[in-house]
Amino acid sequence: MVNLKWNGKLKKEEICEKRHNIAPFHVLDLYPTNSSDLKITEGWQNLLIWGENRAIMNSLLKKYKNKISLIYIDPPFRTGGDFNLKIQIGEDGKFVDEIAYEDKWDKGVDSYLSFIQERLILMREFLSNTGSIYVHLDWHTSHYVKLIMDEIFGIDNFRNEIVWAYPAASAKTRKFFIRAYDTILFYTKTDDYIFNDDPNIYMEYSDRVKNALKRDEHGVFYYRGGSHDGKKLSRKVYVEQEGTFPRDVWNDIPYIRANANEYQGFSTQKPERLLKRIILASTNKKDLIADFFCGSGTTLSVAEKLGRRWIGCDTNYTAIHISKKRILSISNSNDIMKWKLKYDKNPNSFKIYGLNKQENLNLKSSNLDLDIQQDHNIVSIKLTNFSYSKDKDLPAKIKKKIKVFSDFIDYWAIDYDYKDDTFNNMWISFRTPKKRKLKLKSDPFLYEKSGEYNLSVKIIDIFGTELIYSFRIRI
Q: Tell me the three-class secondary structure of 407-454, residue by residue.
A: HHEEEEEEECCCECCEEECCEEEECCCCCCCCCCECCCEECCCCCEEE
Strands 68-73 and 288-291: parallel
The pLDDT tens digits for 225-283 are 765 565 655 777 788 777 889 999 999 999 998 889 999 988 889 999 999 999 999 99
Every domain range in the chain assigned CATH 2.60.40.10: 362-474
> The dihedral of CA 188, 193, 197, 200: what is its sign?
negative
User: How high is the mean pLDDT of the chain?
Assistant: 88
**pTM recorded for the entire structure:** 0.90
Q: Contact 28/422 with Cβ under 8 angstroms?
A: yes
CA–CA distance, 359 with 353 (Å, rounded to integer): 13
How many angstroms separate the first and last alpha carbons of the chain? Answer: 71
Nearest to 357 by CA among 19, 21, 23: 23
CB 1, CB 155: distance < 8 Å: yes
Domain range 12-201+245-356, CATH architecture = 3-Layer(aba) Sandwich (3.40)
Residue 361 has pLDDT above 60, yes or no: no
Angle ∠(325,331,337) on CA atoms, nearest 5: 115
What is the helix, strand, coil percentage profile of the chain, to 5? Answer: 25, 35, 40
Q: What is the DSSP string of 228-240?
A: ETTEEEEEEEE-S
How does DSSP classify residue 281? H
Q: Are 159 and 188 in contact (CB under 8 A)?
A: yes
Return the DSSP state at 266: B
Report the distance separating Cα 52 and Cα 34, nearest Å.
Answer: 30
Q: What value does the mean pLDDT take over residues 369-383?
A: 94
Q: What pLDDT does 159 receive? A: 98
Is the pLDDT assigned to residue 451 strictly greater than 90?
yes
Does residue 366 carry a pLDDT above 80?
Answer: no
All residues at 6 or more sequence positions from 276 whose CB lies less than 8 Å from its CB, including other chains: 200, 201, 302, 306, 336
Domain with CATH 3.40.50.150 in the chain: 12-201+245-356
* Higher local confidence (pLDDT), 326 or 364: 326
Name the least confident of 123-132, 283-292, 347-356.
347-356
Residue 34 has pLDDT above 60, yes or no: no
What number does CATH give the domain 362-474?
2.60.40.10
How many CB atoms neighbour CB 422 within 10 A? Answer: 15
Strand partners, 68: 127
